[in-house]
Chains A and B, each alone.
Chain A
């Protein structure tokens, strides 16, 4: 099975930087994905990592260490609209058409304060 852990809640100030950590233990690994979800809305894709290292996309960056089963999402220049749940998800399937679904962590509720 899959075990994915992330903090339940985090609070940060507008304009600041916040790092949301995610650790995972999975049988097989084919990528780690980060999604943003506002209450009652669809998860929105932010970033993914397959290989070790840092992926940067504007204000968002994601890092992966496969040997440590660890990833983080870094959000810079926080804005009020960044208040949302951030979901870490792992994909384990490696062959076409099999087990390509994502298994989600419980999400980190980020609150950005003025």
Chain B
């Protein structure tokens, strides 16, 4: 079965640079989520999109922005990178329309290292 695809798998950037992470949700899934997971920490919700509209915001810094495109793929844009942004970034998708509860399915993540 198709899974959530994220690219790149690894990314190394220097401080103050920008980075763009991409996510391709499972086909027919209508909701996309972005999570940040630091070393030894639980995943922290950043932002979500439902049917290409931003649906909720979590602890996403103002330096970050995201959008979902007409083909449902999503991009997380990160600017003025800081050392503390080094983390695993997961994208997840779910199919919510018409369903009361549906699980989130996670991609393999992008490991961002800021030096």
Contacts and interface: CB of A to CB of B under 8 A. Distances in A.
Interface stretch (B13-21, B65-73, B77-85, B106-114): B106-114
Interface residues on B, range: 20 to 34
B90 A42 contact: yes
Interface stretch (A20-28, A59-67, A74-82, A101-109): A101-109
Interface residues of A, number: 26
Nearest to A107: B42
B50 to A, nearest CB: 4
A48 B101 contact: yes
Given A41-B108, A101-B48, 9 more contacts: A30-B100, A43-B43, A43-B106, A44-B106, A93-B56, A98-B55, A100-B94, A102-B104, A105-B42
25 contacts: A31-B101, A40-B88, A40-B111, A41-B108, A41-B109, A42-B90, A42-B106, A43-B90, A43-B106, A44-B106, A45-B103, A45-B104, A50-B101, A96-B97, A97-B51, A97-B53, A98-B50, A99-B55, A100-B55, A100-B56, A100-B94, A101-B48, A102-B45, A105-B42, A107-B42
